[in-house]
Amino acid sequence: MSSHLATKLREGTKKAHTMAENVGFVKCFLKGVVEKTSYRKLVSNLYFVYSAIEEEMERHHNHPVISKIHFSELNRKDSLEKDLYYYYGANWQEQITPSPAAQAYVQRIHEIANTAPELLVAHSYTRYLGDLSGGQILKGITQRGMNLSNGEGTAFYEFDDISDEKAFKDMYRQAMNDLPIDDAAAERIVEEANAAFGMNMAMFNELEGNLIKAIGQMLFNTLTRRFTRGSTELVTAE
C-alpha cells in the first residue's frame, strides 16, 4: 500500500519552501547577486551538512526504509570537496568550520539517525530533490555572478552519474511513495522536512548578514575611489 509520501511532502512543505525562497540571501542570489566570501561559506556549510547526511545514510543503508531511497548517485560530499579546493585552496580543510546554524543542522541529522533513522528521508528529500530540480539554473547564476569559467567552483551542481534527471526524480518519488511506512510515520517525515527547511533558512539568514556587509564594503570602496579621483569626477558620476 502506497504511503503517498512524495505527494504529502510536496503539499506539506509548500509554505516552508516559499519562505525559504524569500530569505534575503536567496532572493539576492536568484537575482544574480553572488558575493564570493558569502558563497564559499555556503559551500563550506553544505559540506558539513552533506557529510553528515551521507555518513548516516550509509550507516543505515540496510534499514528497511532508508535502503529504499539510498542512492549513492546523489552524494554531494566529493563534489563539494572539489569546490572547496577551488575557493579555499589545497589546505581548505584547515580553513573551514561550520557556522552555528550549520552545526545545529548537523547535530539534528546525527540525533535522528540514532533515534529515528526513517526521518533521514526528510533531509534526503529536502536537499537532493532541490539540488536536482534547480541545479543547472543555480549553476548558471553562480557562474555569471562570479565570472566563473565552466567547471570552475560549480561541481556541486553536477550529477555525473545521473544521465536523465527528470527520470531519476520520477523514480525517486515513486520509491518514496512505496516506502514501508504508515500514515503516522509519513506525517513525522513531513514535519521533519519542514524543520529541515527551517535549518536551511537559518544558514541563509547567517549569510545574509555577511552579504549585506560585503555589499556595503563594495559600495564604500567605490565611493572612496571616486573621492580620491577628485570632486569633478564625482559630479560627473552623479
Q: Where is pLDDT greater, at 211 or 70? A: 70
Model confidence at 232, in pLDDT bands (50, 70, 90)? very low
pTM of the model: 0.87
Portion of the chain with pLDDT greater than 70, in percent: 87
Give the residue, 237 or 182, on which the prediction is more confident. 182
Which domains occur in the chain, in start order? Answer: 5-212 (1.20.910.10)
pLDDT digits (tens, 9 = 90+) for 160-180: 999 999 999 999 999 999 999
Q: In which band, very low, low, confident or very high, does the pLDDT at 211 lie, cut at 50, 70 and 90?
A: low
Q: Three-class SS string for the chain?
A: CCCCHHHHHHHHCHHHHHHHHCCHHHHHHHCCCCCHHHHHHHHHHHHHHHHHHHHHHHHCCCCCCHHHCCCHHHCCHHHHHHHHHHHHCCCHHHHCCCCHHHHHHHHHHHHHHHHCHHHHHHHHHHHHHHHHHHHHHHHHHHHHHHCCCCCCCCHHHCCCCCCCHHHHHHHHHHHHHCCCCCHHHHHHHHHHHHHHHHHHHHHHHHHHHHHHHHHHHHHHHHHHHHHHCCHHHHHHHC
